[in-house]
Chains A and B, each alone.
Chain A
Amino acid sequence: MTKYAYYPGCSGLGTSQEYDSSTRAVCRALGVELVDIPDWSCCGSTPAHTVDHLLSSALAARNLALAENLDATALITPCPSCLTNLKVAVHRMSDREFRLQVNKLLDKPVDRSTPVKSVLQVLAEDVGPDAVAEMLPNKPLAGLKLAPYYGCIMNRPPEVMQFDDHENPMAMDKLMAALGAEVLPFPLKVECCGASYGVARKDIVAKLSGKLLEAAEDLGAHAVVTACPLCQMNLDLRQGQAGASAGRKFQMPVFYYTQLLGLALGVPQSKLGLSKLCVNPRLALDAMHAAQAEQREREAKSEADKQTLKAKAA
């Protein structure tokens, strides 16, 4: 089993507990060993990197240095924002001068360069949708229509993130398709949801997230599936505000992709934290079950027709 140093990020302990717990459960089910980085600290996210690149990178680098002791293949995190900061720090430290300055600020300097990846990248590349599909021959999520939404920073800037197509990523699409879900060609996969403007200018978030939900609903999606705690929060928690901005009422469940993976893999509900979602996920799951029932009925009917034809022929 490949071992990964796991960095949950601050939201994993707070607003996106269900993302963290479902990630851990899914990784266990798929044979991905996670080792928590002991005494991990802030990744150097928005408040830090808007003020000082050096201090922000030092915050990230502290975690990189701690991960070195774990002898892991890579440092992985579910949160795209943490991912960006960790990866940008590594990228900046490829400059020798900058690396020296960062290391001066650290008790334990960064020696090696541990690869930093998203959990999504590991599940998409190291495990792979084919392996997932093989585990699930019954296609448990058949009939569920999903709008895959990656958010703006999972794949960008491409020279730093180096994962998937930065304008039309497909990693989550393929994983969800492996579960049997019907993945819709969602055109706004990498659009901005408004991000942390939710605090300062919620009108911006309402407008941008409204556009996303509108596009998903117009495509006929049962749910949006995301890989980012902030995107999930804006689309889910602020769905009422987004609806007011768009002039329509949304009822669009917004899942983490790990929750759907867990659901398909039979992970206990308690680990998936579906009850923590604001928009009732039952709406999407009921639609899925209805579609599955309908499909079964269709199949039964065509089977019966065949039998009748056979009998007639006999």
Chain B
Amino acid sequence: MKIGVFICHCGSNIGGTVDAAKVAEAARAFPDVVFTSDTMYACSEPGQDGIIQAIKDHQLDGVVVSSCTPRMHEPTFRRTVERAGLNRFMFEMANIREHVSWIGKDKEANTNKAVELTGIAVEKLRQDQPLFAKQFDINKRVMIIGGGVAGIQAALDCADGDREVVLVERESTIGGKMAKLDKTFPTVDCSSCILGPKMVDVAQHPKIQLYAMSEVEEIGGYVGNFEVKIKRKAPYVNWELCTGCGLCMEKCPSKKSKDRFNEQVGTTTAINIPFPQAIPKKAVIDPEFCIKLTKGKCGICAKVCPTKAIVFDQQEEIVSESVGAIVAATGYDLFDISKYGEYGGGRLPDVITGMQYERLLSASGPTGGHVKRPSDGKEPKTIVFVQCVGSRDKSVDRPYCSGFCCMYTAKQAILTKDHIPDSTSYVFYMDIRAPGKMYDEFTRRAMEEYGTQYVRGRVSMIYPKGDKLLVRGADTLMGTQVEVEADLVVLAAGAEAAVGAPHLAEKLRISYDKYGFFMESHPKLRPVETNTAGVYLAGACQGPKDIPASVAQGSAAAAKVLALFAKDKLENDPMISSVDIKRCVGCGKCVQVCPFGAIKEVDFRGEPKAEVIETVCQGCGLCTATCPQGAIQLSHFTDNQILAEVNALCQL
């Protein structure tokens, strides 16, 4: 075997504290090494050309590059050796930047360590085998989970790209959080006027199949070939027959049902269509409050329904869908304001969330767009907005900024002045975070044109005083305590991961952070991909996001899906496990530890044996570490290769 070794200076990143020339010199002594050189930037075009030239000139069989992390440039150099006619797996990388030059200043010690790491890579390369990817068919349908604005955008873009889309929505209508908003910043255009047409497009698009009131139950398979079981919950209404006329809602005698769409500002009927623009516009019965379902009597809706659509004994059902890619767009939920005992949220009726205030502002809300406070229905004249309730606060385990609250609070202050011209609004804030296009101008408008009183400081407590709320806080610019007697207090509740998000992440086999937000593949360079092939992210399920960012991610995820579907066949990654059937004793331990369900037990001449499903295996290596027989081996990381590396290190 003939091996070439290339030591990269990475400008002064490595060259500053590692003697690259000396490492190259030392590498010449390693077995099978016939060529070494040091190069300023191995990844640059001349650097790569130098590698190709050396492969040709010296008939190299494999290449080692000692440079940065393989996360950065391993794919680059794989392509380089492939261009020179080698198999892409006849390449090894030693990380002498993150593991050496960036963490130590002693040039001699660094140089020695770089030599050792290079030696290890050479030994591994000596054991490398050419590997070849296998091709498999791809199902070009996509499933979008979540019908908020991000999911809607992803669905429409994929459908416009002529792909079949299955859109799954937990609630009875799509629209998500955006459908609840009155106006949107910074343009103050009506939320339902800009979202409504998109929702209608979803309903009318021939390529989109919508499952509302449905949840993903189980996901099997792999990129290109997912099998998803969807649970369709029972609305107790035959949606084929329901025309959305709303007669049932007018007559329903159970009027104390939880109004979830209106954030429980007021109550609604047990049979309900959440809002006039709902898609699908179909009635749903809340079994918790329906008199017929709880007490067995009533059935008025069934009597008045002109199409006889009410089905009290309807059951949930499971349907299966086959898709090739999945976009998770499950959005976020709001922080529970009652966790701040000192603010009285949940105890004091006139302390409400920003989302509840949206419903009070909205013309289609429970008060018809007239701002009335919940306790006595009076129009509030002094309104206090408190920002960062459940954001940037370690004491409630929410150290992150929710990003959009500064903006929606400014918008709500502006709208309040429009609704009640003789009102005064106060905003208690920590910092104003308004870094979007036209955003800072917008918050300035709230202050300068609308006279909103911005007070920099935290609120320490809110308590009732007569029929008012006394809001006590600090004004840190003035260095004083302030007290405001308010009629209504709106808490800018922060964003947190959607209820059940970690559960879904486990079904999707993607990672999530400690707060339940889904993890992207790379925070900068792969923002809508996950580490599970074929699963993409859009919107606030990845982290708090405003509407423009959510829509952008919806489109980005769709672009990723369409790029994936542009191919007719997919190639698997050949760095996967395989079983030596002679050694396997069928103990099944590998089946248990595999996090991807990629190993199944098969019967081989009457004996149980493990078998790897090549397309599902992600090459994590857990099975090889578990196998007591050493029967299951991960290609490119075999036991022999790892032992060769350890040997080399011990002998250097």
The reply to whether A187 and B340 form a contact with Cβ atoms under 8 Å apart is no
B246 to chain A, nearest CB (A): 40
The complex places the Cα of A187 from the Cα of B469 at a distance, in Å, of 11
**Interface pairs (10), CB distance under 8 Å:** A165-B341, A166-B341, A167-B461, A185-B347, A185-B464, A187-B461, A187-B463, A187-B470, A191-B461, A218-B466
The complex places the Cα of A251 from the Cα of B347 at a distance, in Å, of 30
For B470, what are the chain A residues with a Cβ–Cβ distance below 8 Å?
187
The complex places the Cα of A267 from the Cα of B542 at a distance, in Å, of 62
The complex places the Cα of A214 from the Cα of B464 at a distance, in Å, of 13
A163 to chain B, nearest CB (A): 14
The complex places the Cα of A66 from the Cα of B236 at a distance, in Å, of 68
The reply to whether A167 and B463 form a contact with Cβ atoms under 8 Å apart is no
The complex places the Cα of A191 from the Cα of B342 at a distance, in Å, of 11
Name the residue among A167, A187, A188, A191 with the largest chain B CB count within 10 angstroms. Answer: A187
The complex places the Cα of A185 from the Cα of B348 at a distance, in Å, of 11
CB within 8 Å of B: which residues of A?
165-168, 185, 187-188, 191, 215, 218
Find A168's partner among B341, B464, B465 (CB 8 Å cutoff). B341
B336 to chain A, nearest CB (A): 14
Q: A167-B342, A167-B461, A187-B465 are in contact. List 8 more A-B contacts (CB 8 A).
A: A167-B340, A167-B341, A168-B342, A168-B347, A185-B347, A187-B461, A187-B463, A188-B463
Which residues of B (448-468) have their CB < 8 Å from a CB of A?
461, 463-466
A157 closest partner in B (C-beta): B395
Which residues of B (464-506) have their CB < 8 Å from a CB of A?
464-466, 470
User: Interface code B213-235, partner A: CB below 8 Å = 1, 0 otherwise?
Assistant: 00000000000000000000000
Closest 7 CB pairs of A and B: A167-B341, A187-B463, A167-B342, A168-B341, A165-B341, A187-B464, A188-B463
Name the interface size band of chain B.
10 to 19
For B341, what are the chain A residues with a Cβ–Cβ distance below 8 Å?
165-168
For B463, what are the chain A residues with a Cβ–Cβ distance below 8 Å?
187-188
The complex places the Cα of A187 from the Cα of B468 at a distance, in Å, of 13
A244 to chain B, nearest CB (A): 21
The complex places the Cα of A231 from the Cα of B484 at a distance, in Å, of 26
For A166, what are the chain B residues with a Cβ–Cβ distance below 8 Å?
341
Which residues of B (240-267) have their CB < 8 Å from a CB of A?
none
For B464, what are the chain A residues with a Cβ–Cβ distance below 8 Å?
185, 187
A240 to chain B, nearest CB (A): 24
The complex places the Cα of A215 from the Cα of B464 at a distance, in Å, of 10
A246 to chain B, nearest CB (A): 14
User: Interface code B338-352, partner A: CB below 8 Å = 1, 0 otherwise?
Assistant: 001110100100000
For B344, what are the chain A residues with a Cβ–Cβ distance below 8 Å?
168
For B340, what are the chain A residues with a Cβ–Cβ distance below 8 Å?
167
For A165, what are the chain B residues with a Cβ–Cβ distance below 8 Å?
341
For B342, what are the chain A residues with a Cβ–Cβ distance below 8 Å?
167-168
For B466, what are the chain A residues with a Cβ–Cβ distance below 8 Å?
218
The complex places the Cα of A165 from the Cα of B341 at a distance, in Å, of 7
The complex places the Cα of A128 from the Cα of B492 at a distance, in Å, of 37
For A191, what are the chain B residues with a Cβ–Cβ distance below 8 Å?
461
The complex places the Cα of A66 from the Cα of B340 at a distance, in Å, of 39
For A215, what are the chain B residues with a Cβ–Cβ distance below 8 Å?
465
The complex places the Cα of A165 from the Cα of B340 at a distance, in Å, of 10
User: Interface code B383-424, partner A: CB below 8 Å = 1, 0 otherwise?
Assistant: 000000000000000000000000000000000000000000
The complex places the Cα of A185 from the Cα of B465 at a distance, in Å, of 11
The complex places the Cα of A296 from the Cα of B345 at a distance, in Å, of 38
A6 to chain B, nearest CB (A): 30
The complex places the Cα of A187 from the Cα of B341 at a distance, in Å, of 11
B27 to chain A, nearest CB (A): 48
The complex places the Cα of A128 from the Cα of B246 at a distance, in Å, of 51
Which residues of B (18-60) have their CB < 8 Å from a CB of A?
none
The complex places the Cα of A168 from the Cα of B466 at a distance, in Å, of 19
The complex places the Cα of A215 from the Cα of B466 at a distance, in Å, of 10
The complex places the Cα of A215 from the Cα of B574 at a distance, in Å, of 74
The complex places the Cα of A188 from the Cα of B464 at a distance, in Å, of 10
Name the residue among A167, A185, A218 with the largest chain B CB count within 10 angstroms. Answer: A167
The complex places the Cα of A167 from the Cα of B347 at a distance, in Å, of 13
For A218, what are the chain B residues with a Cβ–Cβ distance below 8 Å?
465-466
B466 closest partner in A (C-beta): A218
B347 closest partner in A (C-beta): A168
B462 closest partner in A (C-beta): A187
B341 closest partner in A (C-beta): A167
A223 to chain B, nearest CB (A): 20
B473 to chain A, nearest CB (A): 14
A233 to chain B, nearest CB (A): 24
The complex places the Cα of A30 from the Cα of B463 at a distance, in Å, of 35
The complex places the Cα of A166 from the Cα of B395 at a distance, in Å, of 12
B350 to chain A, nearest CB (A): 13
The complex places the Cα of A187 from the Cα of B466 at a distance, in Å, of 12
A158 to chain B, nearest CB (A): 8
For A167, what are the chain B residues with a Cβ–Cβ distance below 8 Å?
340-342, 461
The complex places the Cα of A185 from the Cα of B342 at a distance, in Å, of 13
For B347, what are the chain A residues with a Cβ–Cβ distance below 8 Å?
168, 185
